[in-house]
Structure 1
């Protein structure tokens, strides 16, 4: 583990999380490549412009978001970051909460690192640990 690299990406993800909680589409977009894709279990692949339009319209809001970098590996101008993330918000007025593993692929640009791809994997172990005794989650 390289603590300097981990700290770099922790700070980057903290800034991105702050932009998401602020529901500021322009700030959020500044962290991502123009062709950034988000892949999640609920809706599959969503492109940057679609995601930012959901934020700008108020369909998607976040009230809390936190990331813990678990591993960051740099391969020249590409970095792969594994993080544990939690967040809360609402989707079209319906509240949600998520505990997930986040895999981000970043590319180094003249202005810094930009995310090219984010993949979300639900943390099923956490959901199972918090399930009431006798439930079948």
Structure 2
């Protein structure tokens, strides 16, 4: 083995540890969303967090403001199937199919979406920089 080459067993193990850490962050973030706690949700995202959907790019602060005002609440959120995690140094990408029940200004919405979250590691913690979601097609 070359002198500077990483030990494959160590690299694999450390990757698994980081992936497990990211999955825990994602679970805790989902719990914060269902708790409808804007401050707790904000702890999982960067100041520049944006959401991307078929409507375009929205500042994450708009989402946080809606939650803080009570205009947007979530009563359920779950992952359908496995989450794909890719770690690229201080950046990570998580992709999963997510279902949720939201209430916007009193009206209930059920969502089944593919989401991709881009996380960055800053000051020893992972925070989401970008969330992209699109409606999932029904299984045929």
**TM-score interval for Structure 1 and Structure 2 normalised by the shorter chain:** 0.7 to 0.9
Q: Which runs of 5+ in 1 are unaligned?
A: 130-137
- Alignment match, 2:60: 48
Q: Does the CA contact (< 8 Å) of 1:5 and 1:72 recur in 2?
A: no
Q: How far apart, in 2, do the equivalents of 1:16 and 1:109 lie?
A: 17
Count residues with an aligned counterpart. Answer: 126
* Alignment RMSD (CA, Å): 1.8
Of stretches 4-13 and 50-59 in structure 1, the one that deviates more from structure 2 is 4-13
Runs of 4+ in 1 over 4 A off after TM superposition: none
TM-score by length of 1: 0.83
Distance 1:100 1:80, change over 3 A: same
Q: Does the CA contact (< 8 Å) of 2:101 and 2:109 recur in 1?
A: yes
Candidates 88, 99, 105, aligned match of 2:112? 99
Q: Which runs of 5+ in 2 are unaligned?
A: 1-11
Q: Does the CA contact (< 8 Å) of 1:86 and 1:98 recur in 2?
A: yes
Larger Cα Rg: Structure 1 or Structure 2? 2
Shift of 1:3: 4.6
Q: How far apart, in 1, do the equivalents of 2:128 and 2:24 lie?
A: 14
